[in-house]
A and B are shown apart, each in its own frame.
Chain A
């Protein structure tokens, strides 16, 4: 492990710290880390703050290089980073600022069931989910699309599968960008990527991806919870996955194509993984077109995962999923770059907002918030760890003022995977979780060890910061009762 961050961190307020532009001559803007004193101590332990400073060197960056409280060391960009660039000022698009898993994200599916009714079924339910939903490395799914279909799916988003009875049209209205980011071009996605994606739509993958059965255990904002259709003891399903091998390959292809690009445009980078191109350059446009198409694949993947979960619930409870009230609350991306309108220094601008491990959190009144939620703000889904909690937040006005409409995306790792495995030696994570009331099944033995609750920061502390910073506000907290993992 590399050493701790030794540079400056100036206190802005109780939940924001600054890396001043003066820290390094190549920084174009300040770095701002949203964290409280306690979280900051753990953030300083590795080089994530240096990565915030690295991002501050990118051409056309606006405002500041931002990091959410769940920041941790990544490659190139830190995880938990937000960076907006203005194409009119030579602003760049960076595949590393999106991440390999393009449109990795989360969706929350509600039910009209309460914990009392589900409790006797939970073990059988988790088994059913585990055996139905493909999880883990190298596993193909039950939905197979040929290359032509895969490209159509990327062009249309979840509508493509909904037209095949895998969901209902109202699911779209509750998906970020209605499940289809426009101006993508599936033909910019390589054949390699299409091949990797052909069998993987509707599969969970591994690593930190999961499907959880959760119970609402606290409600913090009754009015917003009501608007979201959430109440105490209600059972929900949370799904965390992305665009699978297809998205990874799109990122890979772009990074290879971008090798000589920074030099071509006179861009000096502190880390090769920050490879970027001016957003309006031919190279930049090609990546953007492919990335948008891959993002639509990601929405489709979560749609198919949801649909499989709906079927398992229907079988378990002997009722149609519609009768179980299995409606999608919302689906949000947390690895993505989007062209959005923001006010920078009092001026309205269209900027490329890179969110790498950060979630869009548009406030009440924003035109891109679905009508059903426009009075309260966009639902923000924050997965925590499998032993403690996950959250539903709502976008707050502060996000537009401070973070280009963004908030955190999860708990953030506190321990490396190797350290987590070592800590798990001789323990039975499954049994420990069971003692806490969580039934967990994973396809790889290591999966549970690496993803054990202690490997993560306490998501409650992360959420406290974004709530206090007015980036998003607490609506409901859910505790896990059933987990499936890769």
Chain B
């Protein structure tokens, strides 16, 4: 489960999940909800593999989202489906998406960057929760 939340000039992404793998996938979905108005319009066409290294879970989440943002901003790719395997030393993910098509994808926010401000990945009673503020 994920949602966007408010922050005076910027925007927050928040998700909860029973396990870390799902949490990281949900946060990626949440990021593309911030970027594209109706993420359901994204066709999960081509799978790509993503590898991110890092032992610190919060930095790992940050780097994972940062990678996806880079793929959007520099390579104009949008993604609609994510499968993530989080390990102690990093993650491996398969992401499905397609090139941005302005005719079908209505853009929502220009996410400039993922920030470290109040970045959280925490265990909860039901599993895991994460929060991150993005600069828009």
Known contacts A252-B66, A255-B116; A72/B9 CB under 8 A? yes
Contact A248 B117 (CB under 8 A): no
Contact B112 A444 (CB under 8 A): no
Greatest chain A CB density within 10 A among B8, B100, B112, B133 is at B8
Q: Please pick, from A46, A271, A413, the residue contacting B117 in the complex, using a CB distance under 8 A.
A: A271
Q: Which of B16-24, B71-79, B86-94, B121-129 contacts A (4 or more CB under 8 A)?
A: B71-79
* Chain B residues, CB < 8 A from A252: 66, 113-114
Known contacts A192-B74, A245-B73; A275/B116 CB under 8 A? yes
Contact A446 B70 (CB under 8 A): no
Distance (whole angstroms) from the CB of A249 to the closest CB of chain B: 7
Query: Interface code A421-459, partner B: CB below 8 Å = 1, 0 otherwise?
Result: 000000000000000000000011110000000000000
* Chain B residues, CB < 8 A from A271: 116-117
Contact A245 B106 (CB under 8 A): no
Distance (whole angstroms) from the CB of A352 to the closest CB of chain B: 21
Distance (whole angstroms) from the CB of A94 to the closest CB of chain B: 12
Q: In the assembly, what is the distance between CA of A138 and CA of B103, in Å?
A: 13
Query: Interface code B93-131, partner A: CB below 8 Å = 1, 0 otherwise?
Result: 000000010100011111111111111000000000000
Closest residue of chain B to A51 (Cβ to Cβ) is B117
Closest residue of chain B to A446 (Cβ to Cβ) is B108
For residues 41 through 83 of chain B, which have their beta carbon under 8 Å from a beta carbon of chain A? 59, 63, 66, 70, 72-74, 76
Contact B135 A75 (CB under 8 A): yes
Contact B6 A195 (CB under 8 A): no
Contact A413 B110 (CB under 8 A): no
For residues 1 through 52 of chain B, which have their beta carbon under 8 Å from a beta carbon of chain A? 4-11, 35, 37
Closest residue of chain B to A421 (Cβ to Cβ) is B6
Please tell me if A417 contacts chain B, counting CB pairs below 8 Å.
Answer: yes
Q: In the assembly, what is the distance between CA of A432 and CA of B63, in Å?
A: 42
Distance (whole angstroms) from the CB of B114 to the closest CB of chain A: 8
Interface size class of A (residues with CB under 8 A): 35 or more
For residues 57 through 100 of chain A, which have their beta carbon under 8 Å from a beta carbon of chain B? 72-76, 79, 100
Q: In the assembly, what is the distance between CA of A101 and CA of B5, in Å?
A: 22
Please tell me if A375 contacts chain B, counting CB pairs below 8 Å.
Answer: no
Contact A100 B73 (CB under 8 A): no
Contact A137 B35 (CB under 8 A): yes
* Chain B residues, CB < 8 A from A268: none
Please tell me if A148 contacts chain B, counting CB pairs below 8 Å.
Answer: no
* Chain B residues, CB < 8 A from A14: none
Contact B113 A46 (CB under 8 A): no
Please tell me if A124 contacts chain B, counting CB pairs below 8 Å.
Answer: no
Contact B110 A486 (CB under 8 A): yes
Contact A136 B74 (CB under 8 A): no
Known contacts A196-B70, A249-B70; A207/B112 CB under 8 A? yes
* Chain A residues, CB < 8 A from B136: 206-207, 417
Distance (whole angstroms) from the CB of A376 to the closest CB of chain B: 33
For residues 234 through 252 of chain A, which have their beta carbon under 8 Å from a beta carbon of chain B? 245, 248-249, 251-252
Contact B10 A75 (CB under 8 A): yes
* Chain B residues, CB < 8 A from A255: 116
Can you list 24 A-B contacts (CB < 8 A)? A72-B8, A74-B8, A75-B117, A75-B118, A76-B117, A137-B35, A137-B108, A137-B109, A192-B74, A196-B70, A206-B109, A206-B110, A245-B73, A248-B73, A252-B113, A272-B117, A413-B8, A416-B6, A417-B11, A444-B106, A444-B107, A445-B37, A445-B106, A446-B108
- Footprint of B on A, CB under 8 Å? 1, 46, 72-76, 79, 100-101, 136-139, 192, 195-196, 205-208, 245, 248-249, 251-252, 255-256, 259, 271-273, 275, 413, 416-419, 443-446, 486
